[in-house]
Copies of this chain bind each other. A is one copy, B any other.
Amino acid sequence: MRANKSKRAPSDRTVGRLTLYRRILNEIADDGVKHVHSHALALRAGATAAQVRRDLMVVGYEGTPRRGYGVAQLISALTSFLDEPGGQPVALVGIGNIGRSLLAYFVGRRPNLSIKAAFDVDPQKIGRVINGCRSFDLSELDREIEAQGIRVAILAVPASEAEQVARRLVDAGVVGILNFAPVALHTPPGIYVENVDVTMSLEKVAFFSRRKKARTAG
């Protein structure tokens, strides 16, 4: 089959699914399975076989007809496509409910993306080591981010502070932000922002649950 020609930047949606495929492949590999078809991947990812194949076009690894994709090879192709080789340190700003959950959640989960510094304004929360991550006063944000060369940040501060903190992050060198604050950040071009808005998500679910008939119990 022809080699990938790296046509253009993959879409946001595609990259999201690629991370999902990798996670599924890791589970499959743990089961000792060596090969997998696009159809099987699609089933577990909640997508279609055609979409899986289309998504995989960007990663530069090709399966073989009748045999499918080599699980180990595809994992390694995905990893070299998705991950920065030396790992990417992540900063967390805001050690509230959400922030602490995230610290606990990410510890050891994706070694390539470990949270290397956490920031807050509450003196009770600073100067500690939480889940293997040192916490600092917000005033040290710029210095610490520059010192560690951090380019990815998780923003988990109150909505009223988000815009201002985002600006400081960008000025310190951050180019990607995972934003949990329920506001639209206004960042310069070239900065990637992904919003997680649980209230919006729940309201969407509630809306699409209106006036629907429940299934009869089975």
**Interface residues, chain A, CB within 8 Å of chain B?**
12, 15-16, 19-20, 23, 44-46, 82-84, 88, 90, 97-98, 101-102, 104-106, 109-110, 112-113, 142, 151-152, 154, 170-178, 182-186, 188, 190-192, 194, 196-210, 212-215, 217-218
Contacts and interface: CB of A to CB of B under 8 A. Distances in A.
A82 B203 contact: yes
Nearest to A12: B204
Contact of A218 (B109, B171, B196): B171
In this complex, the member of A16, A110, A208 whose beta carbon has the largest number of chain B beta carbons within 10 angstroms is A208
Tell me the dominant secondary structure on chain A's binding face.
mixed
A178 B196 contact: no
A142 B106 CA distance: 32
A106 B205 CA distance: 15
A46 B82 CA distance: 27
Total identical chains: 2
Given A106-B199, A109-B199, A196-B201, 9 more contacts: A82-B206, A83-B206, A90-B202, A97-B101, A97-B105, A176-B205, A190-B213, A192-B212, A196-B196
A214 B170 CA distance: 8
A192 B214 CA distance: 12
B172 A217 contact: yes
Given A84-B210, A208-B15, A215-B188, A202 B171 contact: no
